[in-house]
Amino acid sequence: MTNSEAVKIAMAKGVESGTHNKVASIYACEDIIEHDVETLTKTPKSELLSQFVDYSEQASELVVSRQSAKHADIMSEAFNSSHSVMRSMIAYLEILEEIEKAGN
């Protein structure tokens, strides 16, 4: 598969309804261009998902910094819980990748 073909697939997902599809499409296109589709498809998926957590943490820090102290604590706790879930999902995927490697 060429990079152009992969980008077309990713862009098609971006026109589906929902912000999550648009964001996923943007990330996928950037990764295809930056890493090449052949390299990208061989990269552990858990490694690729980490960028979403990093972005979310940066965005939440910005949001929390703009809140009053009362609201900042509540929002920070909510964001931290969300990030913990995301990191758990990545760890779960890492376990599955290890199992897959061991089986091959």
- pLDDT (tens digit per residue) in 29-74: 999 999 999 998 888 888 888 888 888 888 888 888 888 887 888 8
Please choose, from the candidates 81, 18, 82, 97, the residue with its C-alpha nearest in 3D space to the C-alpha of residue 52. 82
31 in Cβ contact with 48 (< 8 Å): yes
49 shares a domain with 37: no
pLDDT of 32 reads 92
pLDDT of 77 reads 87
62 shares a domain with 88: yes
pLDDT of 39 reads 92
Q: Which range of residues forms the domain containing residue 48?
A: 44-104
57 shares a domain with 101: yes
Average pLDDT, the chain: 87
96 shares a domain with 51: yes
